[in-house]
Amino acid sequence: MADTHQNYVGGEWVTASTGETVDVVNPANPTEVVTTYQESSAADAADAVDAAADAADAWGDTPAPQRGDVLREVGDILADRKEELTELLTDEEGKTHAEAGGEVQRAIDIFHYYAGKTRDMGGDVKSPSGSNTNLYTVDEPVGVVSLITPWNYPIAIPAWKMAPALAAGNAVVLKPASVAPGPAHAIVEALDEAGITDGAVNLVTGPGSEVGTEFATNDRVDAVSFTGSSQVGNMVYDQATDDQKRVQMEMGGKNPTLVMDSADVEDAADIVAGGAFGVTGQACTATSRAIVHEDVYDEFVDAIVERAADIDIGPGDEYEMGPQVTESELEGTLEYIDIAADEGAALAAGGERPEGGRFEDGFYVEPTVFTDVERDMRIAQEEVFGPVLAVIPVADYEEALDVCNDVEYGLAASIVSNDHSEINRFKRDVEAGVVKINEATTGLELHVPFGGFKNSSSETWREQGDAGLDFYTISKTVYENY
C-alpha cells in the first residue's frame, strides 16, 4: 500500500482540510499505486501563502551565504538519495532509468550551483558624478513567490525555480503537478532536513483550479513562475497580472530541426531521433518537426524511420523509451496521429499502441514518423506532447527558415548543416529563445538563460543561470552623500 504524503506548511507536515487524497499510478503498470498525495483546496493554499508571507522577512534577512549553506546541504541530501529518487521518478512519470537519473543529477547540480551564487549577491557599485558620494544598487528579494510546475520534469523544474528563489531570499509556495509530485515533495523534505526557516518553503498538492488559482491570485503573493501548456499558462498570466504581480511563464513549443543539403544525414538522423523520441517526446523542447532539404529528403526519411523502428519500448527501468505519463496524454497523441493521417500525411513509422506482453496495461505508443507533411497541417502547427515527428520537405534554406518560423511557438530550434553562411543566418533569423547548431533541440545547460519567444513564453524573464536570479530580485538604487 502506498504511503500518503502530506502538505508542508509553516515548517510542518500537515493534512489537507478536505481530508481527500489522490493516487499516483505507474504509467507502465497503471494498476500499481506508487504514492498517494493530498487533494487540497484553495483554503489550504491560502494557509501556505500566509505562512510564506509571515516567514519572508526572516528568511530574506538571513545572510545570503547562510542561505547558500542550506541549498548546498539540500544538494548533498538529494545526492545521497539519488538512486531512490531516480526509481521514484521512473515509477511516477515513466522516464527510463537513465533519463530519470540524469534529471535527478540536474536537480543536485542546480542546488549546488545556486548555493555558490549566494556569495556573489548584493548589488553593484557605480561611479558617481560628484565627489563625496557613493552610488550603488542593492538587490532585495521580491517577497512571496508562487511556483507552479509540470509533470514532465518533476524534479528538475521545481529545482530550477526553488533554488534561485530561495537563494535570493524569497519565501516560496510550490504546487507541483498532481500526476507526479513525488520528486518535488522530496526536495521539500530535503529543505526541511537542511533546516530552512519555517515557512520559507511550502508545498501544497491539489488541482490547478483550486491550489493553482489561489497561488496566482492571492494578494500576498508578489510573483508567479509557471511552466506548463500555453493554454493554462495564458490563463495563469491573466490571473496573476490582474493586480500587477511579477510573472514568468514558460510554455509550449513546436520545435524544428532544419536538415540542410550539406549535412551528414546519418548524424542528422541521430540528432533528430534523440530530440523527437527521447523522454517519450514529453518535453517542451522536443523536436516535433524535421524540415529537410529536398536533396537529402529521401535519405533522411530512410534513416529516421530506421532509428524509430530500432527503439526498444517498455517499462523505464529496463527499456530505451518508456510510456506516456497518463492515459489522457496517450489518447491525445493517438488523436493527433489520426488527424495527421486524415489530413494526408504519410505514416512512415509507428503510429500504433503496441499490444500484448509488457504493453498490456501501460500507456505506450510507438515512435512515430510522418512524411510528406505540409506546413499548414495541424501536425506541423500544434504541439503534440508525445514521440511524433513531422518531416517536411523544402527546396532551399530560405524556404526552410520560413517554415521554421511559421508557427505560434518559439522555444527551441536547431539546424544541422556544414554551411557556415546558413548557420550564421539561422542564428540571426530564427524566432526561438534556444538556438542549437548541429545539436538536438533538447538538452539545456543550467548556467545560461532559458526561455522562448511568441506563445512559448511571456517574454518577461528568463530562467536558469544569472537570469534565474533576476526574476527573484528587485533593485534599489542608493545615492549616499557623505
Walk me through the domains of the chain, giving residue ranges and CATH numbers: 4-251+457-481 (3.40.605.10), 255-437 (3.40.309.10)
User: Within 13 A of 260's CA, how many CA atoms are on the CB side?
Assistant: 21
Q: Which residues contact 248 (CB under 8 A, 6 or more apart)?
A: 223, 224, 225, 226, 458, 460, 461, 463, 471
73, 92, 250, 366: the catalytic one is 250
Q: What are phi and psi of 292, to 5 degrees?
A: -120, 130
Helix (H, G, I), strand (E, B) or coil at 36: strand
CA 190 to chain CA mean position, Å: 21
CA-nearest of 177, 180, 56, 163 to 116 is 163
The confidence score (pLDDT) of residue 62 equals 97
Q: If you ran DSSP here, which 8-state letter would residue 118 be given?
A: G
E strands of 93-242, at which residues? 125-126, 133-141, 144-148, 171-175, 201-203, 223-227
> Is 250 among the catalytic positions?
yes
CA torsion sign for 280, 149, 430, 373 is positive
pLDDT, one tens digit for every residue, the chain (482 residues): 456 899 999 999 999 999 999 999 999 999 999 999 999 999 999 999 999 999 999 999 999 999 999 999 999 999 999 999 999 999 999 999 999 999 999 999 999 999 999 999 989 999 999 999 999 999 999 999 999 999 999 999 999 999 999 999 999 999 999 999 999 999 999 999 999 999 999 999 999 999 999 999 999 999 999 999 999 999 999 999 999 999 999 999 999 999 999 999 999 999 999 999 999 999 999 999 999 999 999 999 999 999 999 999 999 989 999 999 999 999 999 999 999 999 999 999 999 999 989 998 899 999 999 999 999 999 999 999 999 999 999 999 999 999 999 999 999 999 999 999 999 999 999 999 999 999 999 999 999 999 999 999 998 899 999 999 999 999 999 999 99
Cell numbers for 206: 491539489
Contact in structure between 414 and 436 (CB atoms under 8 Å): yes
Helices 182-193 and 97-117: crossing angle in degrees, nearest 10, is 40
pLDDT tens for each residue of 410-443: 999 999 999 999 999 999 999 999 999 999 999 9
H or E, element range at 77: helix 64-80
Residue 310 · residue 304 · CB < 8 Å: no
Count the Cβ atoms, other than its own, within 10 Å of residue 476.
Answer: 10
What is the number of other CB atoms lying within 10 angstroms of the CB of residue 298? 13
- Find the helix or strand (DSSP H, E) in which 475 lies: strand 473-481
pLDDT value for 360: 87
Distance CA 184, CA 206 (A): 13
The CA distance from 170 to 222, in Å, is: 10
- The number of CA neighbours under 13 Å toward the Cβ of 320 is 14
Cell of 222: 508578489
The three grid cell numbers given for residue 44, joined into one nine-digit string: 489550504
Q: Give the E-state strand segments of 313-387 in sequence order.
A: 346-349, 368-371
